[in-house]
Amino acid sequence: MLSAESVERIVVQALAEDLGGGDITSRLVVPAGLDVEAEIISRAEGRIAGLPIADATFKAVDREISFRPVVVEGDEVKPGDLVAEIRGKAREVFAAERVALNFLQHLSGIATLTARYVAEVAGYRAKIYDTRKTLPGLRQVEKYAVVVGGGVNHRFTLFDGVLIKDNHLKAAAGVGAAVLAAKRGGAAGLVEVEVENLEELGQAIDAGAGIILLDNMSPAELARAVEITAGRAILEASGGVSLETVKEIAKTGVDRISVGVITQGAQPLDLSLEVVKTVGSRQ
């Protein structure tokens, strides 16, 4: 899912943004021949994601930098835990430090929050899905972090599948007509349509929708929708989902719960890079 090409593109762009014409501070105060040994330490509890991207960041600055993870991608960490060890030329390590940490903190935050949602619905039918609410340019790695956290990826792009939303419906002639139009037009895969009430749910079922997105429905409405549908379509709950409400939503029997906040609102995991040893002359 996470291609080397997409990682390289994202890393190169991020380094270009941060380095510009070079790290003038390190060039002025850090001797060219100095090597460092450093550690990435967790300052909080969470799930680690993004180790390959952090490694690629250091390697993009200097292929000779050694990045050795001490934990495995997806491992849970607590404050004080060692995450990775780094060795290399001081100037190059410092040049890559912030970008590598930004990726690792951001993606670990997404994996951590996703894992919390997944834990809340454990034992129920529903799976936690992400959305397209991602930072521009970072969708590939953010959705990767969702999977590390135990979630499931929804469509990546507008081209991946048909999802008829409320604004589409305003431009079409209603739920049933929109679904039929998509199917007649040769839509590949299951046609998904958003509905806001049980009447629209019936229209979607009658038109043969494969997936029905139940938007901002109460738990009682969701449970009734499950009864009405009786397995004739995949049901996805969306809107108003939080850690406090997700279990009640899962109890209704829906198949999916899509949660935009796992990518849009995840707090970065607190990680720091600390030099533990210098090798070579400081003069």
CATH of the domain at 242: 3.20.20.70
Three-class SS state of 254: coil
73 and 152 assigned to the same domain:
no
249 and 272 assigned to the same domain:
no
**Residues making up the chain, counted from first to last:** 283
Q: What are the φ/ψ torsions at residue 125 (nearest 5 degrees)?
A: -65, -35
The answer to whether residue 169 scores a pLDDT higher than 70 is yes
92 and 165 assigned to the same domain:
no
10 and 112 assigned to the same domain:
yes
148 and 230 assigned to the same domain:
yes
Which tokens belong to 230? Answer: 């009786």
87 and 136 assigned to the same domain:
no
255 and 271 assigned to the same domain:
no
Residue at 160: amino acid letter: D
> Scanning the structure block, which residue is given the tokens 């550690």?
39
Confidence of residue 283 (pLDDT cuts 50, 70, 90): low
CATH of the domain at 70: 3.90.1170.20
Interacting residues of 247 by C-beta distance below 8 A, sequence separation 6+: 120, 121, 124
Confidence of residue 53 (pLDDT cuts 50, 70, 90): very high
Span 24-43, average pLDDT: 95
CA 54/CA 84 separation, integer angstroms: 10
How many CB atoms within 10 Å of residue 225?
24
pLDDT at residue 281, rounded to an integer = 63
Task: Specify the DSSP class assigned to residue 9.
Answer: H
pLDDT at residue 172, rounded to an integer = 82
The answer to whether residue 280 scores a pLDDT higher than 80 is no
Catalytic site positions: 98, 133, 165, 194, 215
Q: In the chain, which ranges are continuous DSSP H helix?
A: 4-19, 24-29, 51-61, 90-120, 139-148, 166-171, 175-184, 198-207, 219-229, 246-251, 261-264
130 and 227 assigned to the same domain:
yes
50 and 173 assigned to the same domain:
no
Domain membership of residue 195 as a residue range: 123-264
> Scanning the structure block, which residue is given the tokens 């590949």?
188
Output b/e per residue, 85-104; b: 16+ Cβ within 10 A.
ebbbbbbbbbbbbbbbbbbb
Indicate the average pLDDT of the chain. Answer: 95
pLDDT at residue 156, rounded to an integer = 92
Span 7-26, average pLDDT: 94
pLDDT at residue 276, rounded to an integer = 95
Using alpha carbons, select from 268, 225, 272, 262 the residue that is nearest to residue 241: 262
pLDDT at residue 223, rounded to an integer = 98
Contact 41/271 with Cβ under 8 angstroms? yes
pLDDT at residue 131, rounded to an integer = 96
Per the model's pLDDT, the better-predicted residue between 175 and 172 turns out to be 175
Per the model's pLDDT, the better-predicted residue between 185 and 97 turns out to be 97
173 and 260 assigned to the same domain:
yes
129 and 257 assigned to the same domain:
yes
The answer to whether residue 146 scores a pLDDT higher than 70 is yes
pLDDT at residue 282, rounded to an integer = 59
Domain count, the chain: 2
69 and 92 assigned to the same domain:
yes
Determine the angle formed by the axes of helices 4-19 and 51-61, rounding to 10 degrees. 60
Task: Express each pLDDT in 74-112 by its tens digit.
Answer: 999 999 999 999 999 999 999 999 999 999 999 999 999
